[in-house]
Structure 1
Amino acid sequence: MNDNNDLVSSHILGPLAVNSFGDKFLFNLNRHSFDKVSAKTLFEAKFDEVLFNENTLYVIVGTDSGLLPKYLRNKTIPKGSRYIFIEPESVLTVLREQGLLAHAEQNERILCISWQDWSSAIRNFKIADYFYINAVRSFNAFCAQDDFINEYAELSWNIVETLAQLNWENNTAIGQEAFIDRQIKNVADNRLPAKLLQHAFGGQTVVILAGGPSLDEALPWVRLHREQFVVFAVSRISRQLLAAGIEPDFVFSVDPQEISFDISKEMFRFGARTVFICSYHASSKLLNQWQGLMLYLGSRVPWESPLNVANLSGAGPTVTNAALNVAYDLGFKRVILAGVDLCFTRDGFTHAKGSNEQLAGPKLNLTSLQVETNGGFLAPTGNDYAQAIKTLSLQARRIVRSGGRVINGSLGAARIEGVEYIPLSEIKLDETSINAKSVVDAKVSSYASGDDYLTDVLVELKRAEFQVQAIKRLAEKARHINDTMYNASGLLENYKDKRKLDQIEKKFKRQHRHFAKLVKRFGIRQFIQVVRPFNDEDWTFEEARQLGNIYYDAYYEGTKKLSRLIADAIQRVLVRQQENEADPDFDLLFEQWRKDKSFGRAKAWRIKHPNVAISADTSALFSEFEREFEEVLNQKDTRHFARIKARSKLTIVRQRAGLLFKHNKLEELQDLLLSLDKHEQQQAAEPYRYLIKGYLAELAGDTELALNSYQKIIEDGDILLEDALIRIARIGIEHNDIHNVYLALDCLSKLNPVFLPFYAEIQRLQGDMLDAIDAYSAYVSQFPSDTLAQIKLAMLYIECKSYDGAEMMLDFILSQKPDHQAAIDIKRQMLTGRAIN
């Protein structure tokens, strides 16, 4: 069986071929790519400017029969850079048998692997370090671009998706600044820990409502049985809950981004029944304007402190994951998920009706990432949802092990291990009603007063301020020592200065260890500049000096940012103390509220102090703040809505449809076409619809229908005209329809000069040599740096026996690149040939 498989693989890859330049390659991998110019010349023209950056990890699909890694092996590989070449298993086996990877695989910074070795390769090559410094690049070799063996398309697709996922995961892992920023801003308001409610709902049922498309079908059921369970809701669905007449017992938020306020602000319309549970790093504008009871998850400050009392975790990655954690900790034994889809509808809708996402139209830039649903069909999802699915499965299994159940009532939701699918109508509920608010009030009534808490916070913030300022002074001192301890030749002059730096480093690690770590976390991307994932040479003294300066500058800048945050937090605490006074400094209050854009605090103050007499001017200012708050709540055209609408821009369709067509994704193309049927701009969507229909027809082998679809685009105007002409030309080439190819390339060359070389080639094939020379000349005059096109033009001159023109072209190339071997060889052969003749 294996022998037969090897035989088939060998047949598909073709025989080992050698071109006139001595390049060896498997014929069916590269076919005629290296007929006219050497692999070295082609690689120099296409890859030289992108493949040789320092401290970069390159992931390359395909090896061009081993010629591309061989080319790298013969070059000077940049400092700190590494290369992973990935091939289909069958191709890799044959390349090794033929010895085409032997030289490349001797270099420890070049790896040639198959997909099954991917995980170990990226681990050994420290891909996370390269992601941290934004230095991972991916390309397709020529064999992968052409994909004559129909093996590279899926491999390329997998690499793109995998790198996107890894990039998301690694950047999420180091994206600490926003979390620390919100944590310090929120410390004045994070008074009540959610742990106060631990085990408060033992044995009860909770329904967790999220914003997925299935929420629409769940809301009538929730409204019908509202009093028979506790309701958890993510903050972003507040608008839909208000429209459905449902007030949740608990509303959740974890997102630190300010845009979270835009999508959640309707939660301020809920009454006193609703309790707000939020992560310590949730959007400050949600926390500091909430007028009801609020409990926080996680820790109060990002350093070791008595303020960090025992609490429940607010770990995500999504707010739904956080809510499920809380459901477990509060003792619920049955958790019903509704709107927790963690995937999208196949026609591109990502959220329930009434949400910004649904109002903006279908999402047209879906990835190929898919999950199986409870209904047994596949549905598209995103990187964040994919991670949330893994976490939710772990959470669900923990609940099941403790004797509980997790149920999802939607067929369209992602199927998750540990989560049962039961239609909502078949779930049996207890007849007794639950008063969640009374349970909560009984648990929090005896907790410490706000005044005592604010006093403790003020003491802790001032301690932090002192520590950070001390680190700042040490960083300044170290930076000065590091910059002056080298002489004019860049050599270390005074080793006593080096010992002083060592002493400062010890103070960072011992005397100020907690806050030094915080500074590093806060400015991690600056510290990462010091990282060199692959140190293949010892540092020079000058490099050591520069890296030392970067290191201490990172400390200094981190302390500056942190000091500003702490100073602002101290001022906010002082204002909160004033808010508790019956006769506060109103000017101080108003100033802080304006700075934080927390206009809702005005109404909260009036509610808290109903009997305090204030002047008419002060009362007018209170009214102004309350009006501003109402305007913010009523505003529909938010930044979030604008950002979401961008996902539905028709220009996205061209790229996505092309990618799906390239990878033969028939079903996804059909789904994209269905999305366009629901787009708000039907007339503008028409050419995109024809493009997709053309792609679908080509995949189905219906050439006539495809050409008719592309012809419709040409007849209707300028949109997608280039794409349609390219497909017409391609179909003409496949069916040997030279006339259509000629007409299409003629039009394309007038639309875009990049197509002039292709037009020149079709003219050459038809024997129109002078017209071909004119087309190439027109191209070269516009793109004088394209050496490859210049070489082809020179060879065309030689083919026409116009040796003067060829010599002039070759001399021009050599004047720009005197050591260009291909130009030297062609000129020598031409002169030798002329002399013989």
Structure 2
Amino acid sequence: MIDNDELVSSHILGPITVNRFGDRFLFNLNRHGFDKLGAEALFETRFGEAMFNENTLHVIVGTDSGLLVKYLRNKTLPRGARYLFIEPESVLAQLHEHGMLAVDDERILCIGLKDWSAAVRSFKISDYFYINAVRSFNAFCAQDDFVNEYAELSWSVVDALAQLNWDNNAAIGQEAFIDRQIKNIAENRLPAKLLKNAFKDQTVVILAGGPSLDDALPWVKLHRRKFIVFAVSRIARQLLAADIEPDFVFSVDPHDISFDISKEMLRFGGRTVFICSYHTVPDLLNQWPGLMFYLGQRVPWESHLNVANFSGAGPTVTNSALSVAHELGFKRVILAGVDLCFTRDGFTHAKGSNEQLAGPKLNLTSLQVETNGGFLAPTGNDFAQAIKNLSLQAKRMVLSGGKIINASISAAKIDGVEYIPLAEIKLEAEAADAREVVESRLRDSSLELSLDVILADLHKARFHVQEIQRLAEQARQINDSMYNAEGVLENYKDKRKLDQIEKKFKRQHRHFSKLVKRFGIRQFLQVVRPFEDEDWTFEEARRLGNLFYDAYFEGAKKLSLLIEDAMDRVITRQQENEAEPDFELLFQQWRKDKSFGRAGLWRNKHPEVKISAPVAAVFEEFERKFADILNQKDTRHLEKMKQASNLAIVRQRAGLLFKHKKTQELHNLLASLDKHEQQQAAQPYRYLIDGYLAELMGEPERALIAYQQILECGDILLEDALIRVARIGIEHDDVRNVHLALDCLSKLNPVFLPYFAEIQRLQGNILDAIDTYGSYVSQFPADTLVQIKLAMLYIECKSYEGGEMMLNFILSQKPDYAPALNLKQQLLLDKGVN
């Protein structure tokens, strides 16, 4: 019978075929994808200009049988661009064997995953990450994944890139953080250090958003007065539903989507204190109704505004909350919902969160950690880094006499953190009144800056940054004019002028000059571009000089605008303190910031002030908008989370787990599907996993029943199910099932016609086998191997005319093809004997 591995191996790449556009490819990689438009037109449409950005490293999974590489070679590649293609090893070998990967450009590299580390080093991927210029995508063959090799490869590449991106971006400043820091200047007025050791020797419970939070909330509510409660902002929705108001709420994320996740915290009452990083998303800070303390520095330049303060460790908000707990003197920290890993059925966060509402996460990474329960659980790169940081924090706290407990058995096991179930934790009679403690510290403090002082510092900063902008513009003009038409430096006086400007950058404006570079670091790194090895000509020196001063100019320009916006915001805050403010100014700023919640804050601060009907109408409009924003459920974040629960992911993940015999993970994936919102659509995928599990457990009959259910469901997963049916039939010499499966498969995909022909031959249906082979050869006239098999079949049944015709056709294409010459000689001998 047909070789089992040959039939079901993911290496079924199909024959070489050529379509009417002249595209030559391995059929089963792309099948009919290029039939209508041709490869080049499709590449232009799908990838277009995105593949031709300067100074960009493109990481591409798959080459579409080398056609995507060919497409690039026929184009003029942009300056500083590199292209790293990754193929499965089996595909790479076939492409090389058939001469489909001819690459004569050092900027294009085609590799297998085993060469990944060397390749990314040779292409200096760190430099591209520094300038935010690594782009990755899947070629058409990897998107379709007909051969079930690309899913695993794509996940491996995504994981590797995510880790590299994390590592490299952690090493440089990020524009978003400085942007938020300046936008938050008007709000960052009380440093968290005012609360140093305010809760000495007490117990705090830190509540985070992991799945175990669901089990912890009833316990927290029952013992609410026996400890101080810290909560991360993203669980505000769950806390409100459980009628739990935390003593402190934390947020550190600078990105806009953080507001979508955390906006319910704005519904907390006046007893909750907000502790946030200096770079927290402004929409939370500027609409917070109560007390707020910031972590880090007020401003990103050298200034008397930057008083001593807690730094707040990252990368997650939980790390920051733990750091603050230590600074505030807490002796015992109990972690709840601090899982830093996902559940085995694919849930990443507690009930009520967007992540849970979106359904189970089906595209879990291969990264795993050990849990307190001793089993492995999937995690992400950010959580993995948070685990390392939390372990260091825990060890420091333990050395100082403190204790950290995690109450969840399913949470990641962390050195320095002790696992104790909630029921076994002993609690004191009653904790201190957190609000009273905080207010006592404020009575003794004069560290809350006046808005006048902040405004004066912003004026000074704007002057320095605008001077840098002016000098950069002047330097750009000098640099561009001091070379002649041939690009040769001819005016050395101009060079001295540039040197004088550089001295001003370094001396008169040195702190702000550094800030401009930090703010626009990615633009400045484009000037360095160590990935370009060619020697600099004068023309290149001029071009790079222009880039350098343009980076200075653009960075200073953006910073200047940010500072001016911050000044407007401070002036608005001054007006908000007035009983009779300039309402037009207030409304203009609130609209610009979309901080509609400030309307309600102003009313609460000035309840006795009578306002005119037109002004009252605007207030009502803003309060309606604020309420609408808080009530909005279909946010960008929820939509993003739903993408991770797309059923299309299941086929690839299930096949990958089956391939590696991951029985427990398949059970976990099945459990995920049981909780998916699209139960009817999930049914074929459930049957597929059932079949895989039955096979791994040595129960072929049960597997066949599961696969038969798929065949009766419709069009989803038909090919996957039929391949498994054929494999089981081959393993158990069930010729009938193999015949039926291959018959269906050959109708779905012509790649299977030769296998169907072979089973027909084994059953003695020689004429049917010849017809099947003939159908295949008519579709793939370049597949010489199958043509040889057809010729042999003609000879076997003594149809010498057909055999000779087939061999003559082969030799017309390949006159020196030895197998055809030998077979023709045998045919002539057999024909003469008969």
Identify the residue that residue 29 of structure 2 maps to in structure 1: none
Q: CA deviation at 1:570?
A: 1.5
| Match 2:391 to one of 393, 400, 403 | 393
Partner of 1:759: 753
Partner-residue secondary structure (3-state), 2:290: coil
Name the counterpart of 1:383: 381
| 1:219 counterpart SS class | helix
> What letter corresponds to residue 355 of structure 2 in structure 1?
E
- How far the C-alpha of 1:622 sits from its partner, in A, is 2.1
User: 1:288, 1:598 within 8 Å by CA — same for their partners in 2?
Assistant: yes
Partner of 2:714: 717
Report the Cα distance in structure 2 between the residues aligned to 1:641 and 1:185, rounded to whole angstroms.
Answer: 26
Q: Are the aligned partners of 1:363 and 1:647 in contact in 2 as well (CA < 8 Å)?
A: yes
Q: For residues 234 and 806 of structure 1, do their structure 2 counterparts lie closer, same or farther at Cα, with a shift above 3 Å needed?
A: same
Deviation, 1:485, is 5.0
**3-state SS, counterpart of residue 652 of structure 1:** helix
1:698 is matched with 695
- C-alpha contact 2:203 2:332 (8 A) present in aligned 1: yes
**2:637 counterpart of 1:621:** no
The structure, 1 or 2, with the larger RCO (C-alpha pairs under 8 Å, 6+ apart) is 2
Does the residue aligned with 1:348 lie in a helix, a strand or coil? coil
Q: Map 1:309-388; keep pairs closer than 5 Å.
A: 309-388=307-386
Partner Cα separation in structure 2 for residue 304 and residue 596 of structure 1: 27
CA distance in 2, matches of 1:539, 1:488: 17
Answer yes or no: is 1:259 the counterpart of 2:260: no
Aligned partners of 1:231 and 1:250 also within 8 Å = yes
Partner of 1:775: 776
Distance 1:508 1:729 in 2: 74
Q: 1:680 to 1:139 in 2, by over 3 A?
A: closer
What's the counterpart of residue 415 of structure 1?
413
The aligned runs of 1:242-641 (5 Å cut-off) are 242-448=240-446, 453-484=450-481, 501=498, 503-541=500-538, 543-641=540-638
SS at match of 1:276: strand
Partner of residue 684, structure 1: 681
SS at match of 1:670: helix
Cα distance change on mapping 1:617 and 1:692 into 2, 3 Å: same
What is the deviation of 1:329? 0.7
1:365-422: per-residue Cα shift (whole Å, max 9, x none)? 2222221111112222222111111111010001001111001111111111000111
Change (3 A) 1:59 1:33: closer
Distance 1:413 1:544, change over 3 A: same
Whether 1:646 aligns to 2:640 is: no
Distance 1:35 1:711, change over 3 A: closer
The amino acid of 1:566's aligned partner reads I
Contact 1:55 1:534 in 2 (8 A): no
Q: How far apart are residue 610 of structure 1 and its match?
A: 2.5
Cα distance change of structure 1 residues 713 and 74 upon mapping to structure 2, 3 Å threshold: closer
Distance 1:34 1:437, change over 3 A: closer
Bigger shift: 50-59 or 410-419?
50-59
Which of 68, 92, 106 aligns to 1:78? It is 106
Q: 1:706 to 1:401 in 2, by over 3 A?
A: same
Q: Structure 1 residues 66, 505: closer, same or farther in 2, change over 3 A?
A: farther
Give distance in 1, aligned partners of 2:758 and 2:538: 59
Larger deviation, residues 439-448 vs 395-404: 439-448
TM-score (norm 1): 0.77
Q: Which residues in structure 2 correspond to 1:184-223 (within 5 Å)?
A: 184-223=182-221
SS of the residue corresponding to residue 377 of structure 2 reads strand
Instruction: Give the CA deviation at 1:281.
Output: 1.0
**How many residues are paired up?**
741
Alignment RMSD: 4.4
Please identify, of 177-186 and 405-414, the stretch whose mean Cα deviation from structure 2 is larger. Answer: 177-186
Contact preservation (8 Å) 1:797, 1:805:
no
Q: Deviations over 1:168-216 (max 9, x none)?
A: 4434555712222211111111111101111111111111111112212
Counterpart secondary structure, 1:192: coil
Q: Deviations over 1:209-235 (max 9, x none)?
A: 111122122222222222221111111
Q: Secondary structure at the match of 1:698?
A: helix
State the identity %. 64
State the distance in 1 between where 2:615 and 2:89 align.
72
Deviates more, 1:826-835 or 1:365-374: 826-835
**Which stretches in structure 1 are left out of the alignment for 5+ residues?**
1-28, 88-111, 781-788, 811-825
Deviation at 1:763, TM superposition (A): 4.4
Tell me how far 1:456 sits from its aligned partner. 2.1
Segment drifting more, 367-376 vs 170-179: 170-179
Q: Which residue of 2 aligns with 1:657?
A: 654
Q: Is the 8 A contact 1:57 1:130 kept in 2?
A: no
Q: Structure 2 counterpart of 1:663, which letter?
A: H
Write the deviation string for residues 462-495 of structure 1: whole angstroms up to 9, x where unpaired.
2332333333334434444555555555555656
Q: Which amino acid aligns with 1:78?
A: E
Tell me the distance in 2 between the aligned counterparts of 1:541 and 1:790.
55
Task: Identify the range of structure 1 (694-703 vs 311-320) with the bigger mean alpha-carbon deviation.
Answer: 694-703
Quick one: distance in 2 between partners of 1:480 and 1:732?
77
Q: 1:72 to 1:226 in 2, by over 3 A?
A: same
Q: How does 1:44-63 map to 2 (within 5 A)?
A: 46-47=65-66, 49-50=68-69, 54-55=81-82
Deviation sequence 1:21-52 (CA, Å, 0-9, x none): xxxxxxxx999999999xxx999984574598
Matched to 1:273, the amino acid is R
Q: Distance in 2 between matches of 1:426 and 1:240?
A: 24
Tell me the distance in 2 between the aligned counterparts of 1:308 and 1:642.
39
Comparing 424-433 with 230-239, which one deviates more in the overlay? Answer: 424-433
Residue 637 of structure 1: how far off its partner (Å): 2.8
When residues 45 and 206 of structure 1 are mapped into structure 2, their CA distance, relative to the original with a 3 A threshold, is: closer
